[in-house]
Amino acid sequence: MKALNQYSIQFTGLKSGDHDFEFEIDNTFFENIEYSELNEGKLRVALRLEKHTNMLVLNFSIDGNVTVPCDRCGEDFELPVNEKQRLIIRFGDQAVEESEDVMIIPRTESEINVAHFIYEYIVLALPQKRVHPEGKCDKEVLKRLEKLEEETNKNKNADPRWDGLKNITLN
């Protein structure tokens, strides 16, 4: 997508050594990622690219916040993201993903778009269970959940096989 072109790095003209790049991630970034589970956030990505003759080493440092729904009450809240990742890109005959942190790209390539990697690293930095800090959940929703749990527990204790005996009167 054209909106993600700003995350492309032209590496062919760079000299060997370290090169620093910075990217600001906002809601527009998430809107342009297909099937994004995130919609809102404000993050800063510092990327150090180490260029060698036969490979590139990309060191990502991601700091900021994303807005996610609470798994407990459903209300949105800001979750901090502080992530560091390393990606090694080697040059070969064809594009291959060797492992989660090593990629091979064709020697004919002259640039790499890091938007997908940035998104992937943000999502991987999020905890599996996303809940408000203790005491910050919507109290009304928590009351309803407690009531629902009580009703569920009452229904679990009732055994329908005994319902017929409730109608027997002993006089």
Overall domain count for the chain? 1
Integer Cα distance of 159 and 21 in angstroms: 65
Q: Write out the residue range of the structural domain in which residue 126 sits.
A: 2-137
Whether residue 85 is contained in a domain is answered as yes
Whether residue 150 is contained in a domain is answered as no
pLDDT tens by residue, 28-86: 999 998 888 888 999 999 999 999 988 999 999 999 999 998 887 888 889 999 999 99
Report whether pLDDT(153) > 70: no
Beta-bridge partner residues of 24:
44
pTM score, whole prediction: 0.78
Whether residue 88 is contained in a domain is answered as yes
Q: What angle do CA 41, 42, 43 make, to 5 degrees?
A: 115
Whether residue 36 is contained in a domain is answered as yes
